Structure 1
Amino acid sequence: MKSIGITAIGMYVPERIVHNEEFETRMGIEAGWIESRSGIRERRFSAPGEFTSHLGVRAVQEMLSRDPQALDGVDLVIYATCTPDAMFPSTAALVAGQIGLTGVGAYDLSTACSGFVYGLSMARGMILGGGARKVLVLGGETLSKALDQNDRDTAILFGDGTGCAVVGEVPGGYGLQDFVLGADSAGGPALYISNLADRFPDGQEMRAAPTMNGREVFKFAVRVLGDSGNEVLKKSNLKSDDVDWLIPHQANIRIIEAAAQRFGISMDKTVINLDRYGNTSAGTVPIALHEAVNDGRVKDGQQLLLVAFGGGLSWAACTLKWWAGAPSLRPAAQDTAAQDAPSQVSA
């Protein structure tokens, strides 16, 4: 069987930084309380007129600035997002058209915060099944535009940003290993953003505003992150001691700490950046991965464990042996010359 893995990565977060103090001034929620309860100090908000497709294009531009040939051979685009520009055309198609991939397959994937890991699984399956040669997978959101910014339960937690990865063939012994994917709609009322329907299939009413039951989501998240992570390690014949880096969904520092404890993985082997970006939903895992690669923490041949949970309620986990054989997959300091290379996509 071919070895399928990540061959290029990129990310983009909007310029506007929103500190906790802004919520303290506007809503009376103490900045220190937000950080102590969530681990978040600041997050990024997209500009007026800047939507999820724009963030995706900028993430690809960043990738191409270090690896101008990264998109060569890509014939499918998957965008994991719960804040698409429109119901249709897909945001994936909008991005594809802007980055010179007009005419390739493209679709959006909606499993909220689990979406990027789901997307990696879909990409690997398509390549192994002969349906694609290389796949561009994006995960990202502009949740600041979807949420009620006066809602004390959700406004303080979420931010905007997108990460991307090209999935293709890598040398033997590297790449994506195993996946665990799941969803349970019984938990849907605990975390949702409504659209056309006004009630769930069981008749329970949906609120028009985005809704989250923090207590129920916390219990669910700790359980499924631990269960799915341990299950995928077992499928890969790995133990927690074999993991060099745990890269979890960046929702809440307390959830991450509890999940890491269940794995038996120390926090110094866990990638954390929610303090600077908040919860970017489908963007958290690829953004965290990108930063850990870019600053030199993730190295060639290291064993990674990616875990995520999200609305649906959904969950996803995968094991990955990191291949650093392409420019954007190594620390930025090693590719100074590549950073100056022209991008295939105009700004």
Structure 2
Amino acid sequence: MTIRAVVRGVGHYLPERVVSNAELAQTVDTSDEWIVSRSGIERRCIAAAGQTTSDLGARAAEAALADAGWQANDLDAIILATSTADLTFPSAATMVQARIGMTRGFAFDVQAVCAGFIFALANANALIISGQAKRVMVIGAETFSRLMDWTDRGTCVLFGDGAGALLLEAVESEGTSADRGILATDLNSDGRFKDLLYVDGGTSTGVTGKLRMQGREIFRHAVEKLAQTAHTALEKAGLGSADVDWIVPHQANLRIISATAQRMQVPMERVVVTVQDHGNTSAASIPLALSVGRDRGQIKQGDLIVTEAIGGGLTWGAVVLRW
């Protein structure tokens, strides 16, 4: 028998404040047409003053627990993917652990920017198949609005805040591609491309800093690397594009999503798209899309899902799972 990490619950949380492109255009040199034509984004949610990444993560965690019918102490571990933790330390994951009333097990953060949730899922899968944990919550939570240079229309219009959570449980399976759960993962990074997407602050500068991005170069790398990592993960699972029910991509840019789907030979009708409503929520975008896609009735038990992301670092990867 083979141990698989099987999805048992999902949930998400979005801040109450919704900012439309038209509202942004009142203070930023941009327009709804300009933003939509380049990104597909129509609106995004912005965290309230004093509302932190761990606040968002805890709300998503509570929604996922309710979905599964679990209690916080049913969990062995929490892995939280974020680049916008409340503090330098302790981790946002331990803050969520306390907030939801989990008094056992362990919690830690993963930082791989927009690919963070993929890296966190791979780590959760490794904990489960190695026997170190049986029930793991994986969270993506971000308050990227706090990193924006609101005078840079090339970046500030693209990002939003939010959180999503996924619950995984160890299940004995047959060890075939027909199993439910995570079937394969593929992780990559290349630090030579650091300057394409970064925040110009941290302990080296003494300030938080603002996000900087070379959009054209990121687009070029994204389409090539996302399709490549998705194919690699599918090959590891013994599957191909024709087997895919849904691509659930990192929601960064509609043009990247469309180009990647085309390279994978998967029609857009089989791609879960939420970027128009949420913008780029970095590590939160995939669990948000999984939760929304399930709530819409798109994702159903037994569906084969490929989820992939690329982020600063550069970091990129994919996970193949059967819902």
- TM-score band, normalised by the shorter chain? over 0.9
Selected match of 1:185 from 177, 191, 195: 191
Query: What amino acid sits opposite 2:137 in the alignment?
Result: L
**CA apart distance, 1:87:** 1.1
The change in CA–CA distance for 1:6 and 1:67 in structure 2 (over 3 A counts) is: closer
What does residue 135 of structure 1 align with?
136
Do residues 243 (structure 1) and 244 (structure 2) align? yes
**CA contact 1:304–1:319 (8 Å) conserved in 2:** yes
Q: CA contact under 8 A between 2:29 and 2:153: conserved in structure 1?
A: no
Alignment of 1:195 onto 2:202:
yes
Query: Aligned ranges for residues 248-263 of structure 1 at < 5 Å?
Result: 248-263=249-264
Instruction: Judge which range, 74-83 or 56-65, deviates more.
Output: 56-65
State the alpha-carbon separation in 2 of the partners of residues 26 and 9 from structure 1. Answer: 36
Quote the Cα distance in structure 1 between the aligned partners of 2:260 and 2:67: 34
Structure 2's unaligned 5+ residue stretches are 174-178
Amino acid at match of 2:103: T
State the Cα distance separating 1:70 from its structure 2 match.
5.3
Q: Aligned AA for 1:10? A: G
Q: TM-score, normalised by structure 2?
A: 0.94
CA distance in structure 2 between the aligned counterparts of 1:308 and 1:71, rounded to whole angstroms: 28
SS across alignment from 2:235: helix
Give the equivalent residue in structure 1 for 2:27. Answer: 26
Distance verdict in 2 for CA 1:222–1:43, change over 3 Å: same
Equivalent-residue separation in structure 1 for 2:313 and 2:87 (angstroms):
20
1:72 is displaced (CA, Å) by 4.9
The 1-side partners of 2:58 and 2:217 are apart by 35
Report the 3-state secondary structure (helix = DSSP H, G, I; strand = E; otherwise coil) of the residue aligned with 2:202.
Answer: coil
Q: What letter is aligned with 1:61?
A: E
The equivalent residue for 1:50 is 51
| Aligned match of 1:339 | none
- Find the residue that maps to 1:25 and give its secondary structure: coil
List per-residue Cα deviations over 1:55-95 (Å, max 9, x = no partner): 01111222234343254531211110000001111000000
Aligned pair count reads 315
Q: For the Cα contact (< 8 Å) 2:4–2:129, is it kept in 1? A: no
Q: Distance in 1 between matches of 2:172 and 2:280?
A: 33
Contact 1:14 1:161 in 2 (8 A): yes
Matched, 1:274 2:275: yes
Counterpart position of 2:16:
15
CA distance in 1, matches of 2:65, 2:126: 25
For 1:78-117, list aligned pairs within 5 A: 78-117=79-118
- Match of 2:5? 4
1:294 aligned counterpart, secondary structure: helix
CA contact (8 A) 2:81 2:139 kept: yes
Give me the identity figure in percent: 39
> Contact between 2:73 and 2:104, CA under 8 Å: does it hold in 1?
no
Q: C-alpha separation between the residues in 2 aligned to 1:209 and 1:283? A: 19
Does the Cα contact within 8 Å between 1:8 and 1:70 map onto a contact in 2? no
Deviations 1:208-259 (A, max 9, x none): 4321000110011011101101111111111111100000000001111110
TM-score by length of 1: 0.88
Aligned counterparts of 2:129 and 2:312: Cα–Cα separation in 1 = 28
Task: Kindly provide the CA deviation profile for residues 89-129 of structure 1, in whole angstroms up to 9, marking residues without a partner as x.
Answer: 10000000111113421111000111111111101111222
* Residue 130 of structure 1: how far off its partner (Å): 2.3
1:153-198 CA distance string (max 9 Å, x none): 2110000000001111236221000000001111111001131235
1:6 and 1:170 in contact (8 A); partners too: no
Secondary structure class of the residue paired with 2:76: strand
Amino acid at match of 1:2: I
| Preserved CA contact (<8 Å) 2:147 2:209 | no
Query: Deviation at 1:303?
Result: 0.8
Q: Is the 8 A contact 1:252 1:274 kept in 2?
A: yes
Q: Aligned in 2, Cα 1:221/1:279: closer, same or farther, shift over 3 Å?
A: same
CA RMSD of aligned residues (A): 1.6
Asked if 2 retains the 8 angstrom alpha-carbon contact of 1:7 and 1:70, the reply is no
CA–CA distance in structure 2, aligned partners of residues 70 and 232 of structure 1:
32
Contact 1:5 1:174 in 2 (8 A): yes
Aligned partners of 2:15 and 2:47 also within 8 Å: yes
Instruction: Give 4+ residue runs of structure 1 displaced > 4 Å after superposition.
Output: none
Q: 1:132 to 1:35 in 2, by over 3 A?
A: same
- Once residues 301 and 211 of structure 2 are traced to their aligned partners in structure 1, the CA distance between those partners, rounded to angstroms, is 41
Work out the CA distance in 1 between the residues paired with 2:274 and 2:172: 30
Deviation track 1:30-74 (CA, whole Å, cap 9, x = no partner) reads 111101110000000000000100001111222234343254531
